[in-house]
Amino acid sequence: MSTLTITTIQANLHWEDKAANLQMLEEKINSIKEKTEIVVLPEMFSTGFSMKPELLAETMEGETLQWMKRIAAEKKIILTGSLIIADTVQTGIAGPCYFNRLIWMLPNGQCGIYDKRHLFAYAGEDNHYTAGTKRLIASVKGWKINLLVCYDLRFPVWARQTSPPTSSLSGEGGGEAEYDVLIYVANWPERRIHAWKTLLQARAIENQCYVVGVNRVGKDGNDIYYSGESMIIDPLGEVLYTKKDQEEIFTLTLDKTKLQAVREKLPFLKDADDFRILNQEE
């Protein structure tokens, strides 16, 4: 219960080619030798960061969700990453609704979902996708994990520890710290990588938690280069792992006793401002 093993997959995604990406990622997952509990894939792992949801979106019963169910069951892991989903939720807008949706797939086939809250208007994401309104905090072996997507990283309030939690997959929550691990899945370009690295460390320090950021590498179909630089960071902001410019599969075990020791020695969370996010759905 005091440890949690996470594997990050930093991959060069095939542009808008689901079949190629699923085959490539399955080969990478099959190559993991260490015992692991959670495998983290990048943002839009089946397509790359595409603005063509009309052509690429799947439903929650689609092939990529079925692939995630099968892999999670076969490997007895939790598998997570985001993809393009068409959903029929009532949002008050005409036509189909598309989401950049993170899936938290459990080995038993159940899943949690998080729809990216902050859509990247600089690239027109807000013109093609619907923003999410609720956070997702999952629970694994007594660890609580906050799951976010890429551009969310620039908005610290959305990630800030609150009590009680705003959404919980397990129904648990309360206490001084809302969560223990913060995971970001991303397609974050090399041209703005300094912000990626700096803000990941900042989120760890201000929330006194482990942070896992998983980015892609290589060029996408818009000729944008991604240097990766996926990171795992401890509650003091120290970088435990990072990798630049190369595909890599990396496994690390997080230690709950170290996290608790930091929070006990430096009890900063109790001095935090008390707030609620008013535009979030209950």
CA distance 60 to 68: 11
List 18, 150, 178, 190, catalytic entry: 150
164 preceded by cis ω (within 30°)? yes
CA distance 157 to 276: 10
116 a catalytic residue = yes
Instruction: State the amino acid at position 181 in one-letter form.
Output: V
List 18, 28, 116, 144, catalytic entry: 116
Extract the tokens encoding 269. 């969370």
- β-pair partners for 150: none
Q: CB under 8 Å, gap of 24 or more: what pairs does 95-98 form?
A: 96/54, 96/57, 97/130, 98/53, 98/54, 98/57, 98/128, 98/129, 98/130
Strand, helix or coil for residue 56: helix
209 a catalytic residue = no
Strand, helix or coil for residue 162: coil
Beta-carbon contacts of 5 under 8 Å, excluding residues fewer than 6 positions away, are 34, 35, 36, 37, 38, 251, 252, 253, 254
Beta-carbon contacts of 132 under 8 Å, excluding residues fewer than 6 positions away, are 99, 101, 114, 115, 116, 117
Count of H-run helices and E-run strands, the chain: 7, 13
Question: Cβ(126)–Cβ(119) under 8 Å?
Answer: yes
CA distance 279 to 46: 31
List 16, 37, 43, 190, catalytic entry: 43
Residue positions annotated with a catalytic role: 43, 116, 150
